A and B are shown apart, each in its own frame.
Chain A
């Protein structure tokens, strides 16, 4: 570890995938538009694929050289990653500041035993793509050892928890006990495990049907020439001759398939979801093909957000998320901690969720919001989109179909129902230095709990109409990932907003 190390050879395979990803647009253009009537005898027809191949080769060679040139090692108290072909890049992370070591393992990596390791400090991080599983365990072990060594030297207690690890939970977290024995060793507690029954129920109520539909429909559209539609329609023709029935049946079959696919996607993604508390860090591990292991430091939590869809409310289940900060961006699109919204408990009975979370965040109270908003805001939630809908419907109606008004009418009705729900069920409550805001979103309820000292700023918006009816919109800005999240409510009584403002400004300075 103290001498420069190379990446795992599998990284070259990842390099190919990366190169394909970079040229995906060109490749798709080629396959979709050119392959069908490709003239193999015409020499000029090879120009375009030739260009694509050259591009591809360039980026592939660049990737290979990059992987080949990448080295990492530990020097004094820094973890160093050096990479780059022409412009050398060198990143040094202070080991004492390293907060999380996240791994993710795609399906290729699972077969060959590779791991994508991300090392993060509060401000920056680096990614080792890909190292072998053994190497990754070794790196983690070494960093932890080094950390405890350093914190021992400096008599620091800040990072204590970082240095702690548990042997049973994951062998990757083994720590030489010589140093750690001296410090008090927090136990790692298994907080939550998603069993299969719950996972199934979660997948069935997940609303992933939309995602599946969105992914499936372009595929179906793209393959519509290939799909033997007449088999399909012939089957239905035996049931009914009416076109409308056939169309309805086809749509319902597509929706059914989307539902099944969506359910499967959710099951695969959240398979074996485990949450382990480890000092002041949470260790979350999930996934069937792409196994992810992420670490969330609970002391960086800016807000706790409960999201509960309407459907899950019927069953009494809910999900809890943490809003956390991170200052780096763009390591990896799949990184769940980077967008700042980390799911902690994906599917759990509400009371049990709050039991667990109260143990995790002992300084927060998690009181329920006082529900109910003034009725003078009722029509404001839906009239603007309704007008827009009617105008669009009128335009379409003029040029094309008369029944769009029916669709517009249904949408407006839904908007009105939603406004009713918003008025009835959103609200807020202040409890000393904690605020809870309950929003009704498009598909469910969202409770956000946060402390006054986590607020970055406040925004109040009004316009003459709102002033006339003595209403105001407010937003509190909370840090989230490298950006922010606005949490607020629309159409509040002005006094409430004034009260919130003075609550925010009153703040005891925690010095």
Chain B
């Protein structure tokens, strides 16, 4: 596989998914805030609270707008010959490396929405921790699984 060495992003559908999830969360938060504001006016709570509610709502809106974009554009993964690498590259940069030989099992999670977008949440579980991949295309996930298990087949690592 020649593009093994390249850092990969999630497929473009992932962005859509992130926006959907954030949007839904924002709507939920909006409803909660509206209820709070109603209670605030009804029971005559401390006046200053309204600014806090509105401030939080604006922060949430900003996050809902920017968060998914950042998440999509700054998360990478790379599958190398015998190890994987996951990078979150925005302000707080974090790079995780795990060798294949440490794998105990691979977990795939999806929900109806992810399934429709043919995406999957993949995580690799070792004896003590797990690394979560950025959203992957179902086919990529399957290739990854088969390469990992090919690598592990017949091997006798002490994990």
Q: Is the CB of B95 within 8 A of A460?
A: yes
> Roughly how many angstroms separate A462 CA and B93 CA in the complex, as a whole number?
5
Q: Is the CB of B129 within 8 A of A457?
A: yes
Chain A residues positioned under 8 Å from B93 (CB to CB): 461-463, 467
Q: Is the CB of B96 within 8 A of A457?
A: yes
Least CB distance, B84 to chain A, in whole angstroms: 9
Contacts A505-B83, A507-B99, A509-B101; A457 near B131 (Cβ below 8 A): yes
Q: Is the CB of B158 within 8 A of A453?
A: yes
Chain B residues positioned under 8 Å from A367 (CB to CB): none
Q: Is the CB of A460 within 8 A of B94?
A: yes
Chain A residues positioned under 8 Å from B82 (CB to CB): 505
Q: Is the CB of A459 within 8 A of B101?
A: no
Contacts A463-B92, A483-B129; A505 near B156 (Cβ below 8 A): no
Q: Is the CB of B129 within 8 A of A511?
A: no
> Roughly how many angstroms separate A505 CA and B97 CA in the complex, as a whole number?
9
Which of A457, A459, A461 is most buried by chain B, counting CB atoms within 10 A of its CB?
Answer: A457
Q: Is the CB of B97 within 8 A of A511?
A: no
A466, closest chain B residue (CB): B93
Give the contacting residue for B128; candidates A480, A509, A510; CB below 8 A.
A480
Q: Does A479 count as interface, using CB distance less than 8 angstroms? A: yes
Which of B82, B99, B127 is most buried by chain A, counting CB atoms within 10 A of its CB?
Answer: B127
Q: Is the CB of B102 within 8 A of A459?
A: no
> Roughly how many angstroms separate A462 CA and B92 CA in the complex, as a whole number?
6
Q: Does A325 count as interface, using CB distance less than 8 angstroms? A: yes
Give the contacting residue for A463; candidates B91, B99, B126; CB below 8 A.
B91
* Interface residues on chain A, size class: 20 to 34
Q: Does A180 count as interface, using CB distance less than 8 angstroms? A: no
Q: Is the CB of A456 within 8 A of B128?
A: yes
> Roughly how many angstroms separate A30 CA and B44 CA in the complex, as a whole number?
36
Contacts A505-B83, A505-B99, A509-B101; A456 near B94 (Cβ below 8 A): no
Q: Is the CB of B97 within 8 A of A456?
A: no
Q: Does B155 count as interface, using CB distance less than 8 angstroms? A: yes
Q: Does A67 count as interface, using CB distance less than 8 angstroms? A: no
Q: Does B98 count as interface, using CB distance less than 8 angstroms? A: yes
Q: Is the CB of B126 within 8 A of A479?
A: yes
Residues of chain A in range 446-491 having any CB-CB distance to chain B below 8 Å: 453, 455-464, 467, 477-480, 482-485
Q: Is the CB of A325 within 8 A of B127?
A: yes
Chain B residues positioned under 8 Å from A511 (CB to CB): 155-156
Least CB distance, B157 to chain A, in whole angstroms: 8
Contact with A along B134-159 (1 / 0, CB 8 A): 00000000000000000000011110
Contact with B along A481-503 (1 / 0, CB 8 A): 01111000000000000000100
Q: Is the CB of B158 within 8 A of A457?
A: no
Chain A residues positioned under 8 Å from B131 (CB to CB): 457
Chain A binding surface SS class: strand
Q: Is the CB of B127 within 8 A of A456?
A: yes
Q: Is the CB of B83 within 8 A of A477?
A: no
* Interface residues on chain B, size class: 20 to 34
Q: Does A504 count as interface, using CB distance less than 8 angstroms? A: yes
> Roughly how many angstroms separate A509 CA and B96 CA in the complex, as a whole number?
20
Q: Is the CB of A484 within 8 A of B129?
A: yes
Q: Is the CB of A458 within 8 A of B91?
A: no
Q: Is the CB of A457 within 8 A of B98?
A: yes
Q: Is the CB of A459 within 8 A of B128?
A: no
Give the contacting residue for B97; candidates A457, A462, A480, A482; CB below 8 A.
A457
> Roughly how many angstroms separate A461 CA and B128 CA in the complex, as a whole number?
20
Contact with A along B8-30 (1 / 0, CB 8 A): 00000000000000000000000
Contact with B along A308-328 (1 / 0, CB 8 A): 000000000000000001000
Contact with A along B65-96 (1 / 0, CB 8 A): 00000000000000000110000000111111
> Roughly how many angstroms separate A405 CA and B56 CA in the complex, as a whole number?
31
Chain B residues positioned under 8 Å from A462 (CB to CB): 93
Contact with A along B95-132 (1 / 0, CB 8 A): 11111011000000000000000000000001111010
Chain B residues positioned under 8 Å from A507 (CB to CB): 99
Chain A residues positioned under 8 Å from B157 (CB to CB): 509-510
Chain A residues positioned under 8 Å from B155 (CB to CB): 509, 511
> Roughly how many angstroms separate A456 CA and B92 CA in the complex, as a whole number?
22
B98, closest chain A residue (CB): A457
Least CB distance, A494 to chain B, in whole angstroms: 12
> Roughly how many angstroms separate A402 CA and B16 CA in the complex, as a whole number?
53
> Roughly how many angstroms separate A463 CA and B99 CA in the complex, as a whole number?
24
Q: Is the CB of A478 within 8 A of B101?
A: no
Contacts A453-B158, A457-B102, A461-B92; A501 near B97 (Cβ below 8 A): yes
Contacts A453-B158, A505-B83; A459 near B127 (Cβ below 8 A): no
Least CB distance, B54 to chain A, in whole angstroms: 23
Q: Is the CB of A477 within 8 A of B129?
A: yes
Q: Is the CB of A456 within 8 A of B101?
A: no
Chain A residues with a Cβ under 8 A of chain B: 325, 453, 455-464, 467, 477-480, 482-485, 501, 504-505, 507, 509-511
List 15 contacting pairs A-B, 8 Å CB cutoff, sorted by A: A456-B98, A456-B126, A456-B129, A457-B96, A457-B97, A457-B102, A457-B126, A458-B96, A458-B98, A459-B96, A460-B95, A480-B128, A484-B128, A510-B157, A511-B155
By Cβ-Cβ distance, the 7 closest A-B pairs, closest first, are: A484-B128, A479-B128, A457-B98, A460-B95, A479-B127, A458-B97, A484-B129
